[in-house]
Amino acid sequence: MKKRMAYTALVVGVLSVGAAWAAEPIDTRTRLLAANCAYCHGPDGKSRGAIPSLAGLEKGYFIQQMKDFKSGARPATVMHQHAGGYTDEEVEKLAAWFAAVK
């Protein structure tokens, strides 16, 4: 019985992982793009200093800031040089990615 309980616990874990994968495969491209933000903005977008965190930013806000950096509407020290290197689609996916970071 004890053994069976252990298997049950294991299987629940397995199923939830399996279900997550089946429902929504991980977007590995966005995961890599987002990871490359970390060396300035901190692991998972959680900054340890004066550079702003990205984790948990509202999606619409993130997209608008990136657009404004790109157009020059929001003056920047560094970010206008980065924002110009991403497509609108990539910005949208990155916005969703960081909005989901708890």
Please report, as ranges, the residues that interact with other proteins according to CB under 8 A.
4, 7-8, 10-11, 14-15, 17-18, 21-22, 28-29, 31-33, 35-36, 38-43, 47-51, 70, 77-78, 80-86, 90
CA separation for the pair 79, 15 (Å, rounded): 41
User: Least distance (Å) from other proteins to the CB of residue 12?
Assistant: 8
- Residue number with CB closer to other proteins (29 or 58): 29
User: Least distance (Å) from other proteins to the CB of residue 83?
Assistant: 7
Q: Are 37 and 93 in contact (CB under 8 A)?
A: no
- Residue number with CB closer to other proteins (16 or 60): 16
Nearest CA to 51 out of 61, 62, 60, 39 is that of 39
Sequence-distant (6+) residues with CB within 8 A of 13 are: none
User: Least distance (Å) from other proteins to the CB of residue 34?
Assistant: 10
Strands, E, within 1-102: which ranges? Answer: none
